[in-house]
Structure 1
Amino acid sequence: MNITHRDQWFGGRTYAQHGDDLAVLNIFKRLGIEKPSYLDVGAYHPFDLSNTALLYERGSRGINVEPNKALFDAFSKARPGDTNVHAGVAPVCGRMTFYHVNADPGRFTFDVAIASTLGFTRAEEVDVHTLNNIVDVAGTGIWPDLLNIDIEGLDIDVLRAADFGENPPRVVIVEADNGSGDTSHELDALMHAKGFTLHSWAGSNMIFVRVADSDRIW
């Protein structure tokens, strides 16, 4: 049952695993951004465990990147207003081996160590692009307001390779522990070097905001 009180700013629904979408909407409200754009990397599903589905329902639009063909097709049908990219994201452009873990579809990965631990059922070669390439080709060349990244093992390498330039995302959500170990300290140091500060945690996800915006949020 979805019960929404008239005084709930963002309604009574969340699609995210940890309520990340409500936390993000609150941050953007503080920043005066009503319909934040987004880049959802390793988007997985249009609604299930999605950090961007609620934003889409509220009028936001963005880019979803998903290498699993079956899941990608679901985005094309359910979220046609978005730009949907069937590909993976990596530190460099090219092709990589993508491992399918049918016992846990949310854990499909390019990381062979994680795949071996989980027990993958098949592997295939897929196209991969850098974050900057996705922004340049699928977007407008300008970073969206929100970068959400969940790619089971390559998160730090992909973020390290990203050049945010003079207009980086306003908010970045990244998973700090995907079952292969806690990377929160390394992520915190990396994002600090890129001009971000940790705003909060949502479950295993770290939510970062620009240092330049932090005085408008707290």
Structure 2
Amino acid sequence: MPGGRLTQRDRERIAAGLADGLSYGEIARRLGRPTSTITREIGRNGGPGDYRPRLAQQATVRRARRGTPAPAPARDTGSLGAAKEERLIMLAVQTGLPMMMARVHIDLLLSDDGRRTAAELARRLSISPATVSVAVNFLVQHGFVRRERDPQRRRDVYVVDDDAWYHTMVTGRRQTLQTVEAAMAAAEELGLDSPVGQRLSKAGAFLERVSLDMIESADRWRGLLS
């Protein structure tokens, strides 16, 4: 019931909301709860990538039996505030980033020096090392961050810098150009005078022109990031 303790059913709805990519605020609204309640619930039970409603319910029962307060989330959202950070994350998701990748990316962006180790990301976001590994590998592959080696601590450090915006845009457009090449090849194989061939040819020409224009624009304005 709204205002009381979360039930097993509530936790199942939270998990479903996370799977659907909903923001904490939207999940809270659907359950009739404060956003802070949902934030604490997810943060203390594995984070958005590892939240399991059954395990969360069991952990709550154990804490109640012990009579000890639930541990506070390890997340430190800094001076920006949780609501504004969540807004940034959802905007990143709307551009096409998967939810967990968006959370890791925004956390890196909001760090003072744009650098974090995998352990720091896992602690701050309350997620498993395996989840961090999947997220950062995706971000590295798509040009959002780069991987550096810290020789003193013998561990990888993940870095996001100003030039990441340029590399992300160029990488995305180059991937689109690969799609263009495939579409044009299919159009030629099917016949440029066939209905499908004409459709693929037009789409390929459009995507090619737009992608090349965006790469040229990124090159022209790259200096603004310096």
Structure-1-length-normalised TM-score:
0.24
Give the number of the structure whose alpha-carbon radius of gyration is greater: 2
Higher strand share: 1
Q: Which has the higher contact order (CA 8 A, sep 6+)?
A: 1
Higher helix share: 2
